[in-house]
Amino acid sequence: MRLQNLFCRSMLAACCCMAMAKSPLLADGVTRSVEPVEGGCKVTLAWDFSGKVESDLIIEERLPEGWTVDDSTVPFGSFDATWFSGPVAKFAVKPSLLASAGSISFTVVPGGDDPAGSSSGKWMMYLSGAMRKGTVAGDSSIASLGGTNGTSVANGTSDTTEVETALAISSFKVLGGGAIELTYSGVAKVGTIVVEGCQGLGKGWNEVKRATASIGDGKVVMSSDDAAGCSFFRMKLLTEE
The predicted structure's pLDDT at residue 63: 92
The predicted structure's pLDDT at residue 180: 87
Coil vs helix vs strand at 112: coil
- Going from the C-alpha of 213 to that of each of 81, 82, 160, the distances in angstroms are 21, 20, 18
Average pLDDT, whole number, for the chain?
Answer: 78
Beta bridge partners of 92: 58, 81
Domain 27-142: which topology?
Answer: Immunoglobulin-like (2.60.40)
State the virtual CA torsion across 203, 209, 210, 215 in degrees, nearest 10: -90
- Please give the DSSP secondary-structure letter assigned to residue 88: E
Coil vs helix vs strand at 85: strand
- What are the domain boundaries of the chain? 27-142, 162-240
CA distance 125 to 238: 32
Range list of H helices, the chain? 2-26, 224-227
Q: What is the mean pLDDT of residues 125-146?
A: 86
Q: Do domains 27-142 and 162-240 have the same CATH topology?
A: yes
Position with higher pLDDT, 18 vs 189: 189
Q: What is the mean pLDDT of residues 31-43?
A: 89
Q: What is the mean pLDDT of residues 157-177?
A: 76
User: What are the residues whose beta carbons fall under 8 Å from the beta carbon of 76, sequence distance 6 or more?
Assistant: 82, 207, 209, 210
pLDDT digits (tens, 9 = 90+) for 123-132: 999 988 999 9
User: What are the residues whose beta carbons fall under 8 Å from the beta carbon of 23, sequence distance 6 or more?
Assistant: none
Position with higher pLDDT, 144 vs 56: 56
Least confident of 145-149, 161-165, 196-200, 219-223: 145-149
The predicted structure's pLDDT at residue 154: 34
Domain 162-240: which topology?
Answer: Immunoglobulin-like (2.60.40)
Q: What is the mean pLDDT of residues 14-33?
A: 52
